[in-house]
Amino acid sequence: MSNFFQPTFGNRPEQIVGRDGEINAFISGLKEPIGARERCTLFLGQRGMGKTALLLEIADRAAAAGFIVARVTAFEGMPSAIIEQIQLNGSRYFKDEKKSLSGVTVGAMGFSFGLAFSEAANQQYGFRAKMSLLCERLEEKKKGVLILIDEVQTSAAMREVATAYQELVGDHRNIAIGMAGLPYAVSGVLNDEVLTFLNRACKVNLGSISIASIRAYFEHAFRSMNISCPEPILDLAAEKSRGLPYFMQLLGYYLTLYAKDTSAIDKETLKKAESSAIRDLEDNVFKPTLAPLSDNDRFFLMAMARCKDPITTNELQEQLGSQASSLQPYRKRLLDTGIIEAPRRGELVFAVPYLREYLLDEEESGFHVRR
Ligand SMILES: Nc1ncnc2c1ncn2[C@@H]1O[C@H](COP(=O)(O)OP(=O)(O)OP(=O)(O)O)[C@@H](O)[C@H]1O
Ligand SMILES: [Mg+2]
């Protein structure tokens, strides 16, 4: 029996749970006129909230809606990767256009044939001009172009692509863009002087998914694997996922693994699966999330962890003691990074499930914040 759950970063889950609203909104935005705000969307989410999974789903749905999709990560070679992906994914619409018998190729301006650039175009043109040619050529086949950028961050490549997008929209090319990144990285992009125009983009916060949708997913998964799971344990398992898609995958994975011999899940199985899942969460989410933070950030987080829920400004100030006023900038910084949220005035919460418990455990086991 293969495991229905796959807690691997960047993979495609069996089914996307609890993100219909976000996906449908983006796909229907593609039907809006060129340059509409919805056609330039930024998805913000903490590690494991499912940014990559969402982009994978959007790529397929957009392709079915008549878009040629380039899905890339914001690394150095991003501009040429985008061109290659468009050529690769769009070429099947040009299969019938053969080379002429004389060996001289037939093609539109700038192309040898299909979506392959002529040698001259290839050498002379940069990203923006090539994109313009590709969009124009694809418009002949009634196709739009969608660029999906994962792991968004400020870089020369990001500036080049985003600026070209803005110019192509100005030229009325049928192009749209979806970007996903950690809130921390996205706020860097929005503050970049070349990229400030992205502040006008739609911003979609990928927060927790609903416990009800997680429960339904567990029920469906265990049933398809012939594993019995009593209703109260299903309820408990869904609650323990706390809306984090990655934790849902981890918990489902270990529940399935530990139920292998008996094909049944009981309280004991859940307890074992939960501790294995938490261990993986710590290694793969908490450690990388905390790594870029300063000692003052951590000090602030520790003070928050010691407060009761909901964390009120008054109680937090007591915990911070004499440092309270000097640590105000860290509150803002942590809010910007998306690790904490302020659901109401005067209240703070941890945006990443289980982080509070992790911080308290670390403190108990002798971890000290250097100040
Ligand atoms: N909506 C969802 N439904 C079901 N599984 C999901 C969903 N979103 C994400 N997952 C699963 O959770 C795990 C983490 O998702 P993903 O890799 O997309 O996270 P991410 O936000 O891109 O994280 P990172 O910031 O580290 O790149 C993967 O195993 C993925 O398949
Ligand atoms: Mg990712």
Question: Do 119 and 264 share a domain, yes or no?
Answer: no
Domain membership flag for residue 272: yes
Question: Do 252 and 301 share a domain, yes or no?
Answer: no
Domain membership flag for residue 12: no
Question: Do 87 and 182 share a domain, yes or no?
Answer: yes
Beta bridge partners of 359: none
Question: Do 176 and 116 share a domain, yes or no?
Answer: yes
The per-residue pLDDT string of the chain (371 residues; one tens digit each, 9 = 90 and over) reads: 688 999 999 899 989 999 999 999 999 999 999 989 999 999 999 889 999 999 999 999 999 999 999 999 999 999 999 999 999 999 999 987 665 445 555 567 889 888 999 999 999 999 999 999 999 999 999 999 999 999 999 999 999 999 999 999 999 999 999 999 988 788 889 999 989 889 999 999 999 999 999 999 999 999 999 999 999 999 999 999 999 999 999 999 999 999 988 999 999 999 999 999 999 999 999 998 899 899 999 999 999 999 998 899 999 999 999 888 888 889 988 887 778 888 889 999 998 899 999 999 988 887 555 44
Q: Measure 295 CA to ligand 1 centroid, in angstroms.
A: 29
Predicted local distance difference test score (pLDDT) of residue 106: 55
Predicted local distance difference test score (pLDDT) of residue 370: 46
Q: Which of 205, 226, 241 is the last residue of a domain?
A: 205
Domain membership flag for residue 261: yes
pTM: 0.90
The candidate with the shortest Cα–Cα distance to 303, out of 253, 222, 251, 369, is 369
Question: Do 64 and 196 share a domain, yes or no?
Answer: yes
Predicted local distance difference test score (pLDDT) of residue 31: 95
Predicted local distance difference test score (pLDDT) of residue 187: 84
The candidate with the shortest Cα–Cα distance to 306, out of 285, 284, 291, 321, is 321
Q: Is 232 helix (H, G, I), strand (E, B) or coil?
A: helix
Predicted local distance difference test score (pLDDT) of residue 79: 97
Q: Which of 178, 205, 232 is the last residue of a domain?
A: 205
Asked if 247 and 48 touch (Cβ cutoff 8 Å), the reply is yes
**Separation CA 66–CA 100 (nearest Å):** 29
What total number of domains does the chain contain? 3
Q: Whose CA is nearest to atom 13 of ligand 1?
A: 246
Predicted local distance difference test score (pLDDT) of residue 325: 85
Question: Do 217 and 198 share a domain, yes or no?
Answer: no
Predicted local distance difference test score (pLDDT) of residue 1: 64
Give Cβ neighbours of residue 356 (< 8 Å, ≥ 6 apart): 304, 305, 350
Structural domain of 323: 295-364
Buried/exposed 325-353: b ≥16 CB within 10 Å, e otherwise: eebeebbebbbbbbbbbeeeeeebebbbb
Domain membership flag for residue 25: yes
Q: Measure 296 CA to ligand 2 centroid, in angstroms.
A: 27
Question: Do 275 and 185 share a domain, yes or no?
Answer: no
Q: Which of 290, 319, 340 is the last residue of a domain?
A: 290
What Cα–Cα distance (Å) separates residue 85 from each residue in 106, 131, 294, 355?
22, 11, 39, 38
Domain membership flag for residue 137: yes
Beta bridge partners of 181: 44
Ligand nearest to the CA of 56: 1
Question: Do 280 and 302 share a domain, yes or no?
Answer: no
Q: Whose CA is nearest to atom 25 of ligand 1?
A: 47
Domain membership flag for residue 76: yes
Q: Measure 33 CA to ligand 2 centroid, in angstroms.
A: 29
Q: Whose CA is nearest to atom 8 of ligand 1?
A: 50
Q: CATH number for the domain including 335? A: 1.10.10.10
Q: Which two tokens stand for residue 271?
A: 């307890």
Is residue 107 lining ligand 1, measured as CB closer than 6 Å? no
Q: Measure 8 CA to ligand 1 centroid, in angstroms.
A: 8
Q: CATH number for the domain including 31? A: 3.40.50.300
Asked if 45 and 9 touch (Cβ cutoff 8 Å), the reply is no
Question: Do 127 and 70 share a domain, yes or no?
Answer: yes
Is residue 155 lining ligand 1, measured as CB closer than 6 Å? no
Question: Do 29 and 155 share a domain, yes or no?
Answer: yes
